[in-house]
Amino acid sequence: MATIKEIARLTGVSVATVSNVLNGKQGAAGSAKAKEILETAARLQYQPNALAKNLKLRRSHTIGIITEDLTVFNTPEIVDGIEACCEEQGFEIVLANMRLFKRYNNNLTDTPEHAALFERTLRTLAAKQIEGIVYVGYHYRKIPHFPPEGSVPFVYAYCIPCEKRFPSVVFDDEGAGFLVGSALTQRGHTKIGVITGPIESLNAQARLRGYQRALYEAGVLYNAELTFVGDWSQEIGLRWGRELLARGVTAIFAFNDMMASGVYLACAEKGVAIGRDVSVFGYDNLSLDEALSPPLSSVQSPLGEMGRRAAGLVLDQIRGLPSGEPAEWSIPCRLHVRESVADLTQSKL
């Protein structure tokens, strides 16, 4: 790789002049010399050494992204949003993927090993002189790890820190639950089954809260007998689907698409027509949702937007913009109402 020293030698000027010209400093050289320098640089495909430059300037214009696991399905879209924001604002990113799932082969992510890995990751990033960090969780939960006091700006995405000193960006689960509840009550459903996630899931809790609020505002009684606790699996969807059908619901809201697909199985068993006899709503908007028969209604999380927002918060802090109290930002979700939902207020055909 060519260096400014080389260009200086070739053009017979000092490195300072080359540096100045290349950085567009006005009047750094006579126009003839300047042109020659520029041409030589282009000819040699000169590319400044980022290591040297950043070392000298003591700025990297780079933020780090720590992902818990890049292969978990929501993560790449969040990373993409972060990158989009950084690109627009002239920052680079360096990705540090902790690979929790591949590494530990299970969900035990908040262990001492994880803590040690987090520390290591933090130090690796610090060594690269990054100016801020976005931490991307693999699902919405409380994270017991933070950077030490006095570290660079730090923002959590798709998760929240145990301590309130840091901002976080999540999607609006409660709002999504509300939207689904409203979509169903507006279409005349009053006897609605729910299959939640595990009770400790923050996502599930928030969704249920929103759903209950929708019923309340629609003047529909909430019947706790129609709410079952799930575990995200298809099997449990099948099991509670059977149970809910037996209890005569007209609609079922499963808190993820996998469980909703289990409900589909239950309906097939009983010969119940989805989208006519019973309506089904899922969550996650997986690519195969539209491939199910009938296409499954679902909720899409604003992952890219979460990434953009998280990155924006970090960059603002780096720029020293007034940021107020660290807050928990909540980005609205988008509903996809498909043929799996029937409108009971229409006369049946």
Partner DNA sequence: TTGAAAGCGCTAACAT
Partner DNA sequence: ATGTTAGCGCTTTCAA
Residue 50 sits in the site that holds a second copy (CB under 8 A): yes
| Nearest CB to a second copy, comparing residues 36 and 83 | 83
39 touches, from a second copy, DNA, none (C-beta below 5 to 8 Å by class): none
- Binding DNA (rule: CB under 7 A), the pick from 24, 27, 219, 322 is 27
One DSSP character per residue, 87-116 reads HHTT-EEEEEE--HHHHHSSS--SSHHHHH
Residue 97 sits in the site that holds a second copy (CB under 8 A): yes
The total number of residues written for the chain in this structure: 349
Q: How far is the CB of 29 from DNA (least distance, A)?
A: 3
Q: Are 161 and 142 in contact (CB under 8 A)?
A: yes
Residue 43 contacts by C-beta under 8 Å, 6 or more apart in sequence? none
Residue 243 sits in the site that holds a second copy (CB under 8 A): no
- Binding DNA (rule: CB under 7 A), the pick from 9, 43, 52, 319 is 52
Q: Are 118 and 145 in contact (CB under 8 A)?
A: yes
User: Could you give the residue ranges of the DSSP H alpha helices within the chain?
Assistant: 4-11, 15-22, 31-43, 50-57, 75-88, 100-104, 112-127, 173-186, 202-218, 234-246, 257-270, 303-318
| Nearest CB to a second copy, comparing residues 124 and 190 | 124
Q: Are 264 and 279 in contact (CB under 8 A)?
A: no
Using the contact rule CB under 8 A, the part of the chain among 17-25, 173-181, 187-195, 288-296 near a second copy is 288-296
Q: Are 312 and 304 in contact (CB under 8 A)?
A: no
Q: In which element (H, E) is residue 192 found?
A: strand 192-196
Residue 57 sits in the site that holds DNA (CB under 7 A): yes
The site map against a second copy for 177-216 (x = CB under 8 A) is ----------------------------------------
Residue 19 sits in the site that holds DNA (CB under 7 A): yes
d(CA 275, CA 273): 6
Residue 90 sits in the site that holds a second copy (CB under 8 A): no
| Nearest CB to a second copy, comparing residues 117 and 313 | 117
Residue 82 sits in the site that holds DNA (CB under 7 A): no
| Nearest CB to DNA, comparing residues 42 and 291 | 42
One DSSP character per residue, 102-168 reads HHHSSS--SSHHHHHHHHHHHHHHHHTT-S-EEEE-SSS-EE---PPTT-S-EEEESSEESSTTS-E
Residue 58 sits in the site that holds DNA (CB under 7 A): yes
30 touches, from a second copy, DNA, none (C-beta below 5 to 8 Å by class): DNA
Residue 30 sits in the site that holds DNA (CB under 7 A): yes
Sign of CA dihedral 77, 81, 82, 88: positive
Phi, psi of 27 (to 5 degrees): 65, 25
199 touches, from DNA, a second copy, none (C-beta below 5 to 8 Å by class): none
Residue 2 sits in the site that holds a second copy (CB under 8 A): no
User: What's the distance, CA 346 to chain centroid?
Assistant: 38
Using the contact rule CB under 7 A, the part of the chain among 15-23, 212-220, 243-251, 305-313 near DNA is 15-23
| Nearest CB to a second copy, comparing residues 123 and 164 | 123
Phi, psi of 66 (to 5 degrees): -100, 115
Q: Are 82 and 306 in contact (CB under 8 A)?
A: no
Residue 37 sits in the site that holds a second copy (CB under 8 A): no
Q: Which residue, 177, 159, 166, 197, is CA-closest to 72?
A: 159
Q: Which amino acid is at 228?
A: F
Interface residues with a second copy (CB under 8 A) are: 1, 45, 47-52, 54-55, 60, 70-71, 73, 75-77, 79-80, 83-84, 92-95, 97, 99, 102, 123-124, 126-129, 148, 234, 257-258, 261-262, 264-265, 268, 286-293, 304
Question: Where on the chain is the footprint of DNA (CB under 7 A)?
Answer: 3-5, 12-17, 19-20, 22-23, 27-30, 33-34, 46, 48-49, 52-53, 55-58
